[in-house]
């Protein structure tokens, strides 16, 4: 697919930086990260190389910045998240527990996959092959793990869940969800956030064996 040349216009620095990233994502998605060039991105953005180099050092730097977009979105979402609190003596029903866990999982997943095209690009072009991209993705993992551990700790202290090793449980579930998401991305399957969150919640609350109660 040919890259259309955009008309050059003046933009404030932050707006220009985001425009370049938007154009880079479009070019990488169309041509593939490894086949695309800085010239392709500049043509799509309607800027010269000198303008692009004011914001990014090279093509890899663009990829890292796109990964950082995801991390920043997740961090912002976590900062705005309503703090988990339980009324004294609260004992949720199984359905209440499932609904609660499902909603918390879905909230984070929507933040990661609000822009599935960026997530797919980052996974395919950088993760596991580029240390800078891996560092950004670790930021996401650490942010999510911290909030999962904190919420499990609060639930345990309130007597809502049994005594668990919250560090182990958080890593167990996050690791499993990540494997599923990588499969979806690798196979170009649509990311069904609600379905993934529902299955993860059922597994966390109910396990895999049927219960008689």
The closest alpha carbon to 187, from 139, 110, 106, 116, belongs to 116
Q: Structural domains in the chain? A: 13-52 (1.10.10.60), 61-206 (1.10.357.10)
Q: Which residue has the higher pLDDT, 74 or 210?
A: 74
Whether the predicted pLDDT of 2 surpasses 70:
no
Count of other CB atoms within 10 angstroms of residue 89: 8
The mean pLDDT of the chain is 87
| 41 Cβ contact partners less than 8 Å away, ≥ 6 residues apart | 20, 23, 24, 27, 52, 59, 62
Question: Interior CA angle at 69 toward 187 and 108, to 5°?
Answer: 65
The SS3 of residue 12 is: coil
Please compute the mean of the pLDDT values over residues 110-129 and round it to a whole number: 80
Each residue's pLDDT tens digit, 30-71: 888 889 999 999 999 999 999 999 999 999 999 999 999 889
Q: Give residue 4's pLDDT.
A: 47
Q: Which residue has the higher pLDDT, 116 or 92?
A: 92
């Amino acid at each position: 697919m040919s890259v259309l040349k955009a008309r050059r216009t003046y933009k404030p620095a932050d707006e220009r930086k985001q425009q370049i990233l938007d154009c880079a994502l479009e070019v990488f998605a169309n041509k593939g990260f490894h086949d695309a060039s800085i010239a392709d991105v500049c043509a799509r953005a309607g800027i010269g190389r000198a303008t692009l180099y004011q914001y990014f050092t090279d093509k890899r730097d663009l990829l890292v910045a796109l990964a950082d977009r995801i991390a920043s979105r997740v961090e912002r979402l976590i900062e705005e998240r309503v703090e988990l609190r339980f009324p004294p003596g609260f004992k949720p029903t199984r359905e209440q527990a499932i609904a609660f866990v499902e909603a918390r999982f879905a909230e984070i997943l929507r933040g990661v996959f609000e822009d599935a095209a960026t997530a797919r690009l980052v996974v395919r072009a950088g993760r596991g092959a580029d240390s800078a991209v891996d560092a950004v993705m670790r930021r996401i993992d650490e942010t999510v793990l911290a909030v999962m551990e904190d919420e499990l700790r609060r639930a345990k202290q309130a007597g809502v869940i049994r005594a668990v090793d919250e560090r182990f449980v958080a890593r167990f579930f996050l690791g499993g969800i990540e494997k599923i998401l990588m499969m979806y991305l690798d196979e170009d399957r649509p990311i069904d956030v609600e379905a993934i969150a529902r299955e993860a919640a059922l597994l966390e609350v109910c396990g895999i064996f049927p219960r008689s109660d």
